[in-house]
Amino acid sequence: MSKDTEVQALTRVPLTTLSEDEQLFRDSCRSFAEGRIKPLVRKMDEEAKLDRSVIPELFDLGLMGIHVPEELGGGGGSFFMSVLAVEEISRVDASFGVFIDVQNTLVNNALMRWADDGQKRKYLPRLAKDLVGAYALSESGSGSDAFALACRAVDNGDHFLLNGRKLWITNAIEANLFIVFANVNPDLGYKGITAFLIERDFPGFTVGKKEDKLGIRASSTCELILEDCRVPKANVLGEIGKGYKIAIETLNEGRIGIGAQMVGIALGSWEYGAAYSKERKAFGKPLSEFQAIQFQLAETATQIEAARLMVYNAARLKDAKQDFLKEAAMAKYFSSQVAEHVTSLVVEIYGGYGYTKDYPVEKYFRDSKIGKIYEGTSNMQLQTIAKYLLR
């Protein structure tokens, strides 16, 4: 049995969870990931940068504006379809997975919900066609405490002047549009936080050093430097002083995308582990014939399926305009736990080979760790879940 046949038999998505259009969309994402991205994965990881030639193809396939309305140049799909794309791309490469995740679940999502008509007409068609976006909230002193922002914005007539530094900004090298959060009135605390749409060529804006990371190495993670960065008042996103609301609500939705990324990582790793267990022999028979391996594969496949359905449920609730805060936090928390556990186990199934870069499973292991950290640490997810349940 070929590996492709095994994957279809062992890890197919239950058709009852997907419509026909969703199934076709998912299959096209998987085909692109397997055919176009997979041959580039090792080189991108070693060089710590995305292959730029793939990015225009992502736009051409509609993967950078999945649920942007058709009248604004997007695909007119659902948030759930964005989740499917993130899962399928991450199954092959988590760096491109988070690249499209940030574009769809954070940047596009924030503009569709909070931008005025002029901003939507100006930016959303390009975000669907050729413009990469980034989301800049974190700073050196504001990670989990997201509202302890040191970045300041000063009203200067027809524009604001922004000063400060942002850290850990995904897509920073490739992006030309940044949603940047700064405080216009520190005396008001979080009620002074405001979101700004900053174009890369605005005076006073610079992309700083790229971080040398453990995992998702091809994904650019950089510092942003704002030195009297001049931002027109027309580029305030939402209302002045309402940036905290934009940040909270957008990140609540973004958690679902990270959950999908973790499901993809876990699934991609598991598939390699299952295939290898049939090929590798010990004591005269394949590893897959040992009950210990069978049980480990069965247990982790069950965990992956549970994580996937939690992510799908949160995305469906979001599309249905129902409350999904608890479900999103649970999905991110659980899927990141599962991804770390599954990828670690698969390294062990490979034995010594799994600890080398000759096989892809060590990369899945490295890529999985970020799931417990960005867009809200696991402890922050548990806090959110507990507050929701006990309020």
For 5-36, write each residue's pLDDT tens digit: 455 445 565 555 799 999 999 999 999 999 99
Is the pLDDT at 215 greater than 70, yes or no? Answer: yes
The model's pTM: 0.96
pLDDT for position 314 = 98
- Decide: 152 and 84 in contact? Cβ < 8 Å: no
Q: Among all chains, which residue has been given the structure tokens 């394949």?
A: 286
Domain 245-390, CATH homologous superfamily name and number: Butyryl-CoA Dehydrogenase, subunit A, domain 3 (1.20.140.10)
Where are the extended beta strands (E) located within the chain?
A: 133-136, 152-155, 159-170, 177-183, 193-199, 205-210, 221-232, 236-237, 281-282, 285-286
Region of 49 on the Ramachandran plot (φ > 0 left; ψ -120 to 50 alpha; else beta): beta
Handedness of CA 193, 194, 195, 201 (dihedral sign): negative
pLDDT for position 5 = 43
Is the pLDDT at 81 greater than 60, yes or no? Answer: yes
Q: Is 375 a catalytic residue?
A: yes
pLDDT for position 146 = 75
Q: Which of 40-44, 67-71, 138-142, 206-210 has the lowest mean pLDDT?
A: 138-142
* CATH 2.40.110.10 placement within the chain: 134-241
* CATH 1.10.540.10 placement within the chain: 3-132
Please state which architecture CATH assigns to domain 3-132: Orthogonal Bundle (1.10)
Cα distance between residue 327 and residue 319, in whole Å: 13
pLDDT for position 12 = 61
* CATH 1.20.140.10 placement within the chain: 245-390
Q: Which of 11-25, 73-87, 197-211, 354-368 has the lowest mean pLDDT?
A: 11-25
At the topology level, CATH places domain 134-241 in Butyryl-CoA Dehydrogenase, subunit A; domain 2 (2.40.110)
- Report the pLDDT averaged over residues 140-155: 90
Q: From the candidates 223, 271, 327, 375, which is the catalytic residue?
A: 375
